[in-house]
Amino acid sequence: MSFLIKPMLALSALGLALSLIAHLAAIAGIDLKLGNSIFALHIGIFVVWLPAVLLTVRMRRDTRNSAWGFGTMSWKQVLSGCPSWMTYLLYGLFAYVFFNFLLFMGHAESGASSDESPSAPQVVRGFSGHWLLFYYAAFAIAYSAFKKPELLGDAVCQAGHKALPSDKFCSECGSPVSIKKNS
């Protein structure tokens, strides 16, 4: 699983940078004259988001609460390898994307976008906010796993029972839990 981290960091950083350029240009009303090719950033989200989900599941596995291994999602645990400013930036970006989408929908309902091309600045602004969020979230997840690789390890007690990464003691035998690094 750790082989995904460096390529994911690079691709999500590239997608984030391109999304930011597209978003800032759209806010300024600049048409980048890329036509529909700008929407390749849609596809890029899936390229980085699938590994992000796999890493997240691996970091926050709670098999006692769910047959699928998802358990209760904890962004605090998944992003524990990130500095706090990165976590706050993710939360702030989520709020911004919500606000940006409301502005986009208001523009679309006014009928102003009926004659605009799909790559018009207002349309790109509506989509690029979401691109920013998904690329940044994928980057933050990969960065956390890169800085704190033990998040991907198996939590086991001294007797070999599986435990949660957040457990300090085994729920079966009470012995201390440690993280066994995967090779």
- Tens of pLDDT, residue by residue over 128-162, are 889 999 999 999 999 999 998 878 877 788 888 88
Q: Does residue 70 register a pLDDT over 60?
A: no
Name the average pLDDT for the chain: 82
pLDDT of residue 91: 94
Reported as a pLDDT band with limits 50, 70 and 90, residue 67 is very low
Q: Which backbone phi and psi does 91 adopt, to 5 degrees?
A: -65, -40
The lowest-confidence range among 21-30, 113-122, 134-143 is 113-122
What does the pLDDT read at residue 73?
60
- Quote the CA–CA distance of 102 and 162 in Å, as a whole number: 45
pLDDT at residue 159, rounded to an integer: 84
Per the model's pLDDT, the better-predicted residue between 66 and 142 turns out to be 142
Asked whether residue 63 carries a pLDDT value surpassing 60, the answer given is: no
Share of the chain above pLDDT 70, in %: 81
How confident is the model over 77-94, as a mean pLDDT? 93
What is the mean predicted confidence (pLDDT) over 161-169? 75
Domain borders along the chain are 2-152, 153-183
